[in-house]
Structure 1
Amino acid sequence: MDRSEFPHFLAIGTRWKDNDVYGHVNNVEYYSFFDTVINDFLIREGGLDIHSGTAIGLCVESQCTFKQSLAFPGSVDAGLRVAKLGNSSVTYEIGLFPAGSPDLAALGRFVHVFVARTDRRPVPMPKAIRTALEGLA
């Protein structure tokens, strides 16, 4: 998988705390990169209101395949695309690349289900979010 397969990118800086005792970014931080690129996109492009919107996205599944190490100091180019778009759910694929590199460091899968903020029951995703996500499919 290469960079051209991802229509959206966000540069994310690594932090001192991301490295573990082995000198590379710890595996749990990769999931934070996934959350960051997805939610940044939803807020900026889809109008997701994280504070008072009636619908919110809950992660119901995530996974990561590690290909190479990332490290601090550095930056990660997080690529985002939609693999499947349902009525209330979306499956994302995330490619993490060392800044400017064509080489994939990790490939992620992340599933959001949109639910009502009040009762956490599935609801159709908001139209503006659906429209933004269609551009990543």
Structure 2
Amino acid sequence: MDRDSFPHFLAIGTRWKDNDVYGHVNNVEYYSFFDTVINEFLIRVGGLDIHGGPVIGLCVESQCTFKQSLAFPDTVDAGLRVAKLGNSSVAYEIGLFRAGLAEPAALGRFVHVFVDREERRPVPLPDHLRTALEGISG
């Protein structure tokens, strides 16, 4: 996958603390980039109310394939697309790119199951969220 594979992007600045003793962004931070691009999209485009809405998304699976190192002070262009849209679940694909480069530094997969906030049982995706996610389906 390259940059053109992703319909939604968010620029994320790396931080000094993201680098580890080997001089590159530590692997755990890549998952934070995944969370950030996904939740930014869900909140801004999908209208997800993370504080009081009746539906929340829970991560049930995540994976990362590392291809190149990132390091502070790189800017990461986080690309997002929906690989599979179910009744209550969404499988995303994420590409992390150094600003301006076509080849990814990392590729990720992340699966949300949307549940009732109180009962924590799967529920159908709300219409506004489904519409937003359909807009970035690959």
Which residue does the alignment assign to 1:18? Answer: 18
Aligned twin of 2:32: 32
Per-residue CA deviations over 1:111-137 (Å, capped at 9, x if unaligned) read: 000000001000001111100000011
Shift of residue 63, structure 1, vs aligned partner: 0.2
Cα distance in 1 for residues equivalent to 2:97 and 2:74 = 11
How far, CA to CA, are the matches of 2:132 and 2:67 in structure 1? Answer: 29
User: Offset of 1:49 from its aligned partner?
Assistant: 0.2
Partner of 2:64: 64
Query: How many Å separate the matches in 1 of 2:126 and 2:100?
Result: 34
Q: 2-side partners of 1:44 and 1:126: how far apart?
A: 15
Q: What is residue 86 of structure 1 aligned with on the other side?
A: 86
Partner of 2:29: helix, strand, or coil? helix
Runs of 4+ aligned structure 1 residues displaced above 3 Å come to: none
The CA distance in 1 between the partners of 2:91 and 2:5, in whole Å, is 15
- Aligned equivalents of 2:83, 2:105: Cα separation in 1: 19
Aligned AA (1:15)? R
AA aligned to 1:101 is L
**Structure 1, residues 16-66: CA drift from partner, whole Å, max 9, x if none?**
110000000000000000000000000000000000000000000000000
Q: Counterpart of 2:109 in structure 1: which amino acid?
A: R
Aligned residues: 137
Number of the residue aligned with 1:7: 7
Which amino acid letter does the alignment assign opposite residue 123 of structure 1? V
The answer for the alignment partner of 1:122 in structure 2 is 122
Give, in whole Å, the separation in 2 of the partners of 1:29 and 1:125.
Answer: 28
Q: CA RMSD in A?
A: 0.4
Unaligned runs of 5+ in 1: none
Q: Which amino acid aligns with 1:5?
A: S
State the alpha-carbon separation in 2 of the partners of residues 57 and 118 from structure 1: 12
TM-score by length of 1: 0.99
Q: Aligned letter for 1:87?
A: N
